[in-house]
Each structure stands twice: as C-alpha cells, then as structure tokens.
Chains A and B, each alone.
Chain A
Amino acid sequence: MDPVMKREIILENYQNPMHRGLVEDSSYIKVNTNNESCIDNLDVQYKIVDGVIEDIRFDGEACAISTSATSVMIRSFIGKRVEEAKEILKNYEAMIEEEEYDPSILGELNVYEETYLQPNRKKCALLPFASFHKVLDQIEK
C-alpha cells in the first residue's frame, strides 16, 4: 500500500476514531487494557449476540497508533462472527510479529504492515487486540 495513503488512514482513524465514547448498556462486555501498558489506558466495550459482533465502543487515552488501531479494528470486526474475528486477530498478530500471515483477510488493517520497522510501536499496534483476547477469555470460559 502507498505509504502516504497508509499514513492518511492511520491519522484519520486517530483524529476521528470510530465509536469513541462508551455506552451505559449491560449487554456489552467491558474490558480495560491498562495492565498491558503503563501509559495507554483504553476501555473497550463489545456487544456480541448469537456469536456475531454487533457493536464495539471504546474510550480512553492512548498514543496515535493504539487509538487508530482500535478504530480500524472496530471497523473490521463489526458484523463479523467471533470465529471470523479470531482469524483476523491471528493474522494481524502474525503480521505485527513478522510471522507468516494472510494479508487478504486483513483489509484496512494492512496499514500496520510496516509497524515492525519500529519495534517500540509493536505493543501499541497490538493493544486494541489485547482487549479482544480479554473478551474471548470471558466468553469462552
């Protein structure tokens, strides 16, 4: 992907992220990512009905990469079955960790394909997905 376009997508998702702001609704599962990082602090809410991710909301303070990656993740996940989201998660993590992955299922998340070039940003790019791990821990218990 063209580097200028990648930067534009990341910046747009940082400055105008999707679904920022939490809702008061007990049908959402709420998780926090603070223990994954001392500095970024994101609350993420997932609404999952019959195995389908119907909605995700988030709020909090985090760097440009974490915030934008949360927004792009939300775009990618909404409407997907949990099993499909797990497949995206697996391939996204492999991409960030420089392992083999299938770019064809990552869509817009491919904008983070070169994050590995800045190793100190890997954690930032993975942070929103840590919230999904926490949700999976809860629903698969």
Chain B
Amino acid sequence: MNREDFEILKTGIIYFDNGATTLKPKPVVDAIVDYYTNYTANAHRGDYDNSLKVDEKYEAVREKVKMLLHCEKSSEVVFTSGATDSLNRIVFGFMKYYLKPGDEVLLTKAEHASNVLPWLELEKEIGIVVKYIPLTSTNEVSMDNVRSSITNRTKVISIAHITNVLGDVRPIAEIGKLCKEKGILFVVDAAQSVPHRKVDVQEANIDFLAFSAHKMLGPTGVGVLYGRYELLNQLHPTVLGGGMNATFTSDGDFTWKSLPSRLEAGTPNIAGVIGLGAAIDYLLSIGMDTIQKYEADLRHYLLTELQKIPNVVLYNEKIASSNIAFNLKDVFSQDTALYLNHYHICVRAGNHCAKMLKDELHVNNTCRISLYFYNTKEEVDTLVRVLKNSEDIFRVIL
C-alpha cells in the first residue's frame, strides 16, 4: 500500500531490507525540507517567530511519541541519536548507579549488539553478572524460561520486543507483569516493533524503552529513549553542555534542568525530530493494526511460496512478525544476496549484529527478508521466481 509516496520505488528496486532501515515517504522528506527551507532556527533559544515555531514543532513531536507509546507524561520521552544511543544511556546513565556488584541482568543470545555490549562493558566496570534466558527449540522466549532464569539477584531484564534476525515476538506484557511483581526493571529494545505494531509502555509495565526513527520511515540519526518518570528522573546525563543546565558558576557548582531538557544537551537533531513527527503521523494515518495485519498476510504468502522451493532452508517459519531468515542450500548467504542484487532485490546477508545467535541457530550467517507495508505480492512473486531459477547463481555472480 501507499507505494506512490515512495519515490525510490519508481527506480524498480524491490526493497526487502526494512529491518535495517526503511524507505522514506514524501511527507517525511517534505517536513525536513520545510524546516531547512522555510523556518530554520535553533530550539529553546530565541524570542523571534521562527524560533518559536521550531519549539512548537519540536515539542509537538514529543506529544506524538507520548501518544504512540501511550506514555503517562511527555517528559518521559527523550530524543536521542537512535536506539543504540538510548540503550547506552540506560546502561551508563542509570544502571551504572542503580546496580551493585553481583546483581544479575537477563538478556538472550538473540539480542542485537546494542543491547549486549553496553551490559558486557558494565559487567567489566562494576561487576554485575550478565546471564542469558535460554531460548526454546524454535529460538523464542517462553515464560517458563523467563521464570526459571530469575533468581533473587535478578535486577533487570533487557530484551528486544521483536528480534532483528528471526523476528520472533516476545510476550512483553506477561514479562512486564512478572517484572513488576518481582521488583525487576524491564528494559525493551523496541527498534523492530514500534515501526510495525502498537506498543503500550504502561500496559506492558515497561520501565525503559528504545527505538530509532529510521526504521519507521523517519530520518537517520534520531531516536527515542522512554523512561518511567521516577526512573528517568534519576538517569545521569551522559552528555553535558548547553540546553541541559540550569546554572553553573566558576566555583564548580552546577544544577541541571528538569526532564526532558536535562537529557538533551546541545542543539538537538531538530530536522530529524520533525521528520520523526511526520513519520508518526504517516504511520498512524494508515493505522498500526492495519500495518500489522497487512504484513502478517504478506509474510504468510511469502513463507508459503518459499516452502515450495526445495533448496531454500528456512530458519524462522513460525514467528509472528514480518521477517524471514533463509539460506540457499550450499550457498554462502552473501553470494545469495549478491545474486538477488543482480535482480534489484535488496536483502541483507550476515549475522545481523546478533553474533551470539549462531550458538542457538547453528548457522553463522543467513539472508534476511524484512517486509514493510509498501511491499507487495508481486514483489514476492519476483523474488520467488529468481530463487527458483538459482541453479545458475554462479554464472550470474561470478
């Protein structure tokens, strides 16, 4: 749907790498160009008309995010450079002061590097203990495994809502409820879920959440850190500078502003935030439920077609999101991706920044197809036709 809004699709590419980043519709690009062309000014600074307009537009996006995530307060929304930045701030701005040596943090081996490496670094720095919730035989997170992984030292569970390689959907509402009962903080990497379905931070008892604009039609370089107010208010600023301080004097005294300004030092990515606002408007005008349903139907169609091809090996048949991880039998994933590129089909090959997953999946690299609402059955048909004819793959790529 809505393909006419995506200029790049007119070039004839078939874009199946939406888990990496999505295409940008015209209203998002227009909103960014409008800011740069017609009302450029800094935020939170001046008393002239354009400056006030920037403030209004910028803060309006905070309200949109609040509505999108169903936060209690808009001051629980902090603009960052992306999900990676948000997760790093949660770990090094909050957890570093909250956790004590020996405290346990539960992750899984399917997490993205940005939800693993900050924790491993903190483990080295202050002696927390990183543990992994075992995955089921289909590489998913079950409530039984979550329950059996919790000890009396467990202080945090930090996992993706939807994983970026296999696209399995975690039962975050149930996990959030359990965390609340046990006094465990619940951190959710929602980079792969907010673009595709409704996420409600209150309903799922989420304490911290991170996502990126560019995976949901928005620009690169901007993302969101959500934190429950009482916790976010204790998060130490990891970046200091203009816009976040209330006072500072030469004798070394300083005080910070209140939330959310305290956590947005320096000139923010104003154009990026405005672009994110346009992306949210765009997604909500279609409707998150409509998007989720459309993608589920398209994935089902794609899966059914791929299952008919004998030399296609599938790794995540049963999941309920919009990814498919596969390989061609006896072909290195990168060679498959290069072969598809020959037909202008964009897929990703590799370990997708989830380098521990190979322990569970027993394969180092896969090709990943990640769908979005602008993909079509016709595009799937082309992919399937090309894969069916792949016996000449080396003639094409060599």
Contacts and interface: CB of A to CB of B under 8 A. Distances in A.
Q: Place the interface of chain A in its size category.
A: 10 to 19
B332 A61 contact: yes
Interface string B183-195: 0000000000000
B220 interface: no
Contact of A64 (B351, B364, B397): B397
Interface string A122-134: 0010000000000
Interface in B38-81: none
B394 interface: yes
B351 A38 contact: yes
A52 interface: no
Interface in A55-75: 61-65, 67
A85 interface: no
A108 interface: no
A2 to B, nearest CB: 13
A120 interface: yes
Interface in B340-398: 341, 349-351, 364-365, 394-395, 397-398
Contact of A39 (B341, B349, B394): B349
Contacts of B333: 39
Contact of A62 (B332, B338, B351, B398): B332
Interface string A23-61: 000000000000000111100000000000000000001
B158 to A, nearest CB: 23
A38 B350 CA distance: 7
Interface of A is mostly: helix
A11 B332 contact: no
Contact of B398 (A38, A64, A120): A64
Interface string A112-141: 000000101100100000000000000000
A10 interface: yes
Interface in A2-33: 7, 10-11, 14
B395 A121 contact: no
Closest 3 CB pairs of A and B: A63-B334, A39-B350, A7-B398
Given A11-B398, A64-B332, 5 more contacts: A38-B351, A39-B351, A41-B364, A61-B365, A64-B335
